[in-house]
Amino acid sequence: MSAPLAAWSLSRSRFEDSLQGLSHAQLNYRLHSKALTIGEMALHVAGVEFWFMSQLHGKSPEGEDARLAKAATDGAVNDKPFPFSTDEITPEFVTECMAKTRSIVAPVIESIPEELRSVEITSALGPIINGDGVFARLSFHAAYHHGQIYLVLNAPDFPAA
């Protein structure tokens, strides 16, 4: 198993496990005004994966896919509004988006095509990175947000259900 695949699989699985059983209210609980909710973090993780894969393959997301790709940046790393409302951020929708991007990333990261390693894309934070940089970032991105979820889950006023 390659290092990017091992790291992505572990961090992505732990991230997904932390979402299991959360209610609509729990997914949309906001620790403070500048923090992402757990649901927004999940859609942001899925959005980054979708946006990175779209760019690597030279595709422009359209419709709902474009909204998911915008979750990579909007409301997460810039001052634009998050592309999904709290009404939309349900356990079912989050699960669907996470499964969708897992199915897109997994086959590529399992056997990274050599031609994708040199493709240049725009990262979520703005710098231009190559395919190797994409897979390095994907390897730890979910783990970064998994740590944040732990903090939110342990907030004194986190909803019981």
Closest CA to 160 of 26, 48, 35: 26
Q: Which helix (H) or strand (E) holds 55?
A: helix 38-56
Q: What are phi and psi of 85, to 5 degrees?
A: -85, 165
Partners of 104 in beta bridges: none
Average pLDDT over residues 101-108: 97
Question: Within 10 A of 91 (CB to CB), how many other CB atoms are there?
Answer: 17
Question: Is the model's pLDDT at 153 over the cut of 80?
Answer: yes
Average pLDDT over residues 124-141: 94
Nearest-angstrom CA–CA distance, 8 and 14: 10
Rounded to two decimals, the pTM is: 0.96
Q: What is the CA radius of gyration of the chain?
A: 15
Q: For residue 1, name the pLDDT band (cuts at 50, 70, 90).
A: confident
Residue 106's pLDDT is 96
Nearest-angstrom CA–CA distance, 83 and 85: 7
Q: For residue 2, name the pLDDT band (cuts at 50, 70, 90).
A: confident
Q: What are phi and psi of 77, to 5 degrees?
A: -120, 5
Nearest-angstrom CA–CA distance, 43 and 37: 10
- pLDDT, one tens digit per residue, over 7-38 is 999 999 999 999 999 999 999 999 999 999 99
46-56 as b/e: b if 16+ CB within 10 A? bbbbbbbbbbb
Nearest-angstrom CA–CA distance, 157 and 25: 12
Assigned superfamily of 3-153: dinb family like domain (1.20.120.450)
Q: Write the DSSP string, 25-50.
A: HHHT--SSTTSPPHHHHHHHHHHHHH
Nearest-angstrom CA–CA distance, 76 and 158: 21
